[in-house]
A and B are shown apart, each in its own frame.
Chain A
Amino acid sequence: MRLSDAPKGAQAVVQSVTDAHPSDPIAQRLRDLGFVAGEPVRLVARGPLGGDPLLIQIGSTRFALRKTEAARVEVFVGGAA
């Protein structure tokens, strides 16, 4: 499922990052920041208005990602794709 749809608090593992359009700089940046296959991530919190942005923990770092940004990240949650 998409990281933007992941349940709050659940441990997930990155499957891939998809380019929203050819040579998508945001997808590239996400990969640079460590969103690569096999990396564990966790959705820590959702923003107060419409659940946007999302607070994502990856390694020791927390990033605020907008839903559209997090939607580029495909994750496994607890074995479900």
Chain B
Amino acid sequence: MSAIAMRVALVGNPNCGKTALFNQLTGGRQKVANYAGVTVERKEGRFVAPSGRTLHILDLPGAYSFDATSPDEAITRDVCHGRYPGEAAPDLIVCVADATNLRLHLRFVLEVRRLGRPVVLALNMMDAARRRGIVIDVEGLSRRLGVPVVETIAVKRGGAKALMERIDASVPEVAPAPIDEADVEQLHAEVRSILADTVKLPRDTVALDDALDRWALHPVFGLAILATLMFFIFQAVFSWAQPVMDGIEAGIAALGNWVTGFLPADSALHSLLNDGVFAGLGAVLVFLPQILILFLFILVLEESGYLPRAAFLLDKMMFRVGLTGRAFIPLLSSFACAIPGIMATRSIQDPRDRLTTILVAPLMTCSARLPVYTLLIAAFIPDHAVWGVFNLQGIVLFALYFAGIFSALAVAFVIKRMRKDKSEHALIMELPSYRLPNVRDIGLGLWERALIFLKRVGGIILALTVLLWFLSSFPGPPPGATQPAIDYSIAGRLGRMLEYVFSPIGFNWQICVALVPGLAAREVAVAALGTVYAMSGSDDAVASQLGPVIAHQWSLATALSLLAWYVFAPQCMSTLAVIRRETNSWRNVAVAAGYLFGLAYLASLATYQIARALT
């Protein structure tokens, strides 16, 4: 028994269940889903085996071959060859293969075996294989491969027990696997020969998959199903969330009243808690139900295996504008919030396609724009019926959503034309078997999502809200001041300065002030406008009173210009921060912020000048 922990690497084809096994072995909670490329980084965990030995487990991104075609496959290749910087080659490689798909996966097993390191083969998804009547001669397979073979069911509790015992007990005896040199044709021939000897396969495909795909991928019905599904998700996000959101809003207002009730009404502390903490955080916290509902759908879709089908249907359209079908998943999540959307671009393996997707994701209308849109539309757009069936306010809202989608496609197209690298990048995307989502996994996924969101609210958003309150409260007005207090504060002065820049697009100084805290999060702008117009009360009260005030004070051209601004402007520092984290480059942040602010200014300028000429 060595004092140095043994290093075990999990490798295998994409979507064979490596991360689920990793979670089983280490008790970890890495994200698993039913599409290729969920894991894009190397993840490390450890567990203490029953023998008392500590084992380091590495979860590596899925790879079809050591002849890597994407950055995540290169990580797997380098770790396995012992060429990964700062990392010794693994002492044992656990090669994971999907038992229902050995025709494809065994070839990579043979490639791994050629490394000449100790290898254990884990036949995963044995439950699914048995259901499909696939019979595997495990002994025979082990003999033919010359490596130990164990059966696992990574999605079942205890399904990795045999693997754990194998790693623990027999590792010192696992001899380096035999090395052979073979070209790709010979490898495939060997796979065929091994399969013929050891595996009985009743039929190549699952009948249910074939039946579902006949509908899901049908040129007409497939698109209709996708459209209906998307419409249903949007409806659910907006309508199911409403009662819960009202409840949260009322709860925060009540808590705020109760807490501030103990403080003198005109004290600074009262104002800080009431206008800053409760109004500010409440405005953001209220989006938790929407985010969770959207993530519920996304997690279920991810687990089911449907998302790669949606990517299949839309690939052609997205390819024409310089994206890829794989961008569908991240762009869909960006309708809730660009932050999870940008994180989801990790499933796009091609770095060029991924960067384009990250750059256009902020153009998808995220839920934080809704309060701004709703406020302005209600104040300025008449509640007219159009052609008897449509409502003018509703049409304007849809137009704003479509403006976002259309500009994302247009921007992607421009990026495509501008880039120098015109080389062909492959789609080659595996469509997995459909799977019934696991309730426990979905529950855990939602819980983690909620925690992340609450940490954000309690951290960065709280800090910015308090900062904003200080900026608009200090310095206080001099004695005998005739103007409202905010005119003398730092925020007020800043607004006056910004007005020089923004008056050509019709923004007055009050809007300019609101844009500054609105940089932290778009919805903050509504509350900030309320403060600027010297009002107090909860966010809701501000929004409902603010409408008539701005309807009276602003021109229609100003309102339309502000709507156009919000379609484009990156009024969200968290989005820029996540672009920095995901691309590891300040340059990309500058490019995104620059082009989005530029487009926002131009769109607002055009809107304002045209609207003013017409009215």
Contact pick for A49, options B64, B184, B308, B317, CB 8 Å: B317
Q: Is the CB of B201 within 8 A of A64?
A: no
Interface positions, chain A 23-64, Cβ under 8 Å from B, are 25-26, 28-34, 36-37, 39, 44-50, 52-53, 55, 57-64
A53 to B308, CA, bound (A): 12
Q: Which of B40-48, B96-104, B594-602 contacts A (4 or more CB under 8 A)?
A: B96-104
The residue that B64 contacts in the complex, of A29, A37, A45, with Cβ under 8 A, is: A29
Kindly specify which of B19-27, B82-90, B379-387, B427-435 makes contact with the partner chain. Answer: B427-435
Stretch from B218-226, B263-271, B604-612 at the A interface: B218-226
Task: Check if B308 sits within 8 Å of A29, measured CB to CB.
Answer: no
Question: Does B18 sit at the interface, judged by CB under 8 A?
Answer: no
Pairwise interchain contact A36-B185, C-beta atoms closer than 8 A: yes
Q: Is B581 in contact with chain A by the CB < 8 A criterion?
A: no
Inter-chain CA distance A48–B221, complex, in Å, is 10
* B217 contacts partner chain A, Cβ-Cβ < 8 Å: yes
A residues 4-25 with Cβ under 8 Å of B? 20, 25
| Contact present for A26 and B424 (CB under 8 Å) | yes
CB distance from A18 to the nearest CB of B (A): 14
In whole angstroms, what is the CA distance A60 to B203 when docked?
8
With A45-B217, A48-B219, A66-B427 as contacts: A60 and B316 at CB distance below 8 Å: no
B78 CB–A CB distance under 8 Å: no
A58 to B204, CA, bound (A): 9
**In this assembly, does B234 line the interface, its C-beta being within 8 Å of a C-beta of chain A?**
no
Contact, CB under 8 Å: A65 / B428: yes
Contact A59 B315 (CB under 8 A): no
Task: From A36, A48, A69, give the contact of B428 (CB < 8 A).
Answer: A69
Please tell me the number of chain A residues within 8 Å of chain B, measured between CB atoms: 35
Contact with A along B315-341 (1 / 0, CB 8 A): 111010000010000000000000000
The CA-CA distance from A23 to B312 in the complex, in Å, is 27
**Is A62 in contact with B430, judged by CB distance below 8 angstroms?**
yes
Contacting pair B431 A62 (CB below 8 A): yes
- Contact of A59 with B101 at beta-carbon distance under 8 Å, contacts A26-B426, A34-B107 already known: yes
Q: CB < 8 Å: which of B102, B107, B319, B428 contacts A29?
A: B428
Among B69, B100, B222, which residue has its beta carbon within 8 angstroms of that of A48? B222
A62 to B313, CA, bound (A): 14
Of chain B, the residue at the smallest CB distance from A48 is: B219
The answer to whether A61 touches B428 (Cβ under 8 A) is no
Given the complex, which residues of B lie within 8 Å of A55, measured CB to CB?
Answer: 213, 217, 312, 431
Residues of chain B within 8 A of A34, CB atoms compared: 103-104, 107, 188
Q: Which residues of chain B are near A64, meaning CB under 8 Å?
A: 308, 311-312, 315, 325, 427-431
Q: Is the CB of B204 within 8 A of A47?
A: no
Residues of A close to B312: CB separation below 8 A: 47, 53, 55, 64
Question: In the complex, A52→B316 CA distance in Å?
Answer: 6
Tell me whether B64 and A59 are in contact (CB under 8 A).
Answer: no
Q: Which residues of B contact A50 (CB under 8 A)?
A: 316
Contact A60 B427, CB 8 Å, known A28-B67, A45-B217, A47-B313: no
- B257 an interface residue at 8 Å Cβ cutoff? no
B65 within 8 A of A: yes
A58-81 contact mask (Cβ, 8 Å, vs B): 1 or 0 = 111111111011000000000000
Q: Is B30 an interface residue (CB 8 A)?
A: no
Using A50-B316, A53-B312 as known contacts, say yes or no to A61 and B430 having CB atoms under 8 A apart. Answer: yes
With a cutoff of 8 Å between Cβ atoms, the chain A residues found around residue B222 in the complex are: 48
In the complex, chain B residues whose CB is within 8 Å of the CB of A46: 219
Asked if B103 contacts A60 (CB within 8 A), the reply is yes
Docked CA distance A63–B215 (Å): 17
A68 contacts which chain B residues (CB < 8 A)?
A: 424
Report chain A residues within 8 Å CB of B201: 60
| A15–B205 CA distance with the chains assembled, in angstroms | 23
With contact pairs A32-B107, A47-B315, A47-B316 given, residues A63 and B428 touching in the complex (Cβ less than 8 Å): yes
Interchain CB contact under 8 A, B205 and A57: yes
Docked pose: A33 CA to B103 CA in angstroms: 9
A12 to chain B, nearest CB (A): 14
Contacts A53-B315, A59-B204, A66-B319 known; A33 to B428 CB distance under 8 Å?
yes
Tell me how far the C-beta of A31 lies from the nearest C-beta in chain B, rounded to whole angstroms: 5
Contacts A34-B107, A36-B185, A60-B100 hold; do A52 and B315 have CB atoms under 8 A apart? Answer: yes
Across-interface contacts of B213 in A (CB, < 8 A): 44-45, 55, 62
A59: which of B103, B219, B317, B426 is its contact (CB, 8 Å)? Answer: B103
For B209, the closest partner residue in chain A by CB is A62
Report the minimum CB–CB distance from A64 to chain B (whole Å).
Answer: 4
The one of A31, A36, A66 that contacts B315, using a Cβ cutoff of 8 Å: A66
With a cutoff of 8 Å between Cβ atoms, the chain B residues found around residue A66 in the complex are: 315, 319, 426-427
Q: Which residues of B contact A65 (CB under 8 A)?
A: 427-428
B230 CB to closest chain A CB (Å) equals 15
Shortest distance in angstroms between A7's beta carbon and chain B's nearest beta carbon? 16
What chain B residues lie within 8 Å of A32 (beta carbons)? 64-65, 67, 107, 184
Given A34-B188, A59-B204, are A48 and B65 neighbors across the interface (CB < 8 Å)? no
Alpha-carbon distance between A49 and B321 when the two chains are bound, in angstroms: 14
Closest Cβ of chain B to A75, distance in Å, is 16
Contact of B69 among A20, A25, A61 (CB under 8 A): A25
Chosen A-B contacts, 19 in total, with CB atoms closer than 8 Å, are: A25-B67, A29-B67, A31-B184, A47-B219, A47-B312, A47-B313, A53-B312, A53-B315, A57-B204, A58-B103, A58-B104, A62-B431, A63-B428, A63-B431, A64-B311, A64-B431, A65-B428, A66-B319, A69-B426
Interface residues of A (CB under 8 A from B): 20, 25-26, 28-34, 36-37, 39, 44-50, 52-53, 55, 57-66, 68-69
Binding site for A on B (CB under 8 A): 64-65, 67, 69, 100-104, 107, 184-185, 188, 201, 204-205, 213, 217-220, 222-223, 308, 311-313, 315-317, 319, 325, 424, 426-431
Q: Which 9 A-B pairs have the closest CB atoms?
A: A59-B103, A48-B219, A49-B316, A32-B65, A62-B431, A64-B429, A45-B217, A36-B188, A64-B312
